[in-house]
Amino acid sequence: MRKLKLQVQTTVDGYMGGPQGEMDWMTFPWTDDLAAYITGLMENVDHIVLGRRLAEGFIPAWAAGPEGESQEAIDFMNNTPKTVISNSLAESPWDNAVVAGGDLAETIGKLKAEPGGDLITYGGSTLVTSLIAADLIDELNLFVNPSAIGAGLPVFPGGGDKKRFRLVSATPFECGVTALRLEPRRA
């Protein structure tokens, strides 16, 4: 069965965006060691899962061929099939993307049961917190930036439910970002 991986930039205090989604706290430029790590993370991925709000910016940005990105990364992001999780869209306005609504666990379960490589999600925050709350993510890849912002869009859901994880690896990079690879501890 396919795994669902999370790849997300986060602050040391656990936010993936400022209160309005600001990303000005992220560390750039990335160093070659971090870029190589990301390449390794993506080796077995052949499907991207996005929330609707993230998809609205993410898909057009990659389609435009963002400056500073390698052609290999641009091609991967544009050519990899995507599922956009949304209960407000009836159909996809984007090439190479389908919309799935309804029960999140059922949708993710169907995607995991399909043949192929792993799935990856980058968010947004509503999708990530919902996936974590429902215990649907198999591998969390948190790229912790040396920044604290005090408030914003959390990586982890509130509500008092405890989530336990096993640290698989912690990898610091020259630019100051540290990758934490975690797996949920399931009963």
Q: What is the CATH number of the domain that holds 76?
A: 3.40.430.10
Does residue 38 sit within a domain?
no
Q: Which two tokens stand for residue 18?
A: 């400022």
**Which residues does the chain have with pLDDT short of 50?**
none
What's the domain count of the chain?
Answer: 1
Does residue 21 sit within a domain?
no
pLDDT value of residue 107: 97
Does residue 141 sit within a domain?
yes
This prediction's pTM? 0.94
Asked if residue 51 lies in contact with residue 124, where contact means CB atoms within 8 angstroms, the answer is: yes
Distance of alpha carbon 20 from alpha carbon 104, whole angstroms: 25
Asked if residue 10 lies in contact with residue 144, where contact means CB atoms within 8 angstroms, the answer is: yes
Q: How many CB atoms lie within 10 A of CB 113?
A: 9
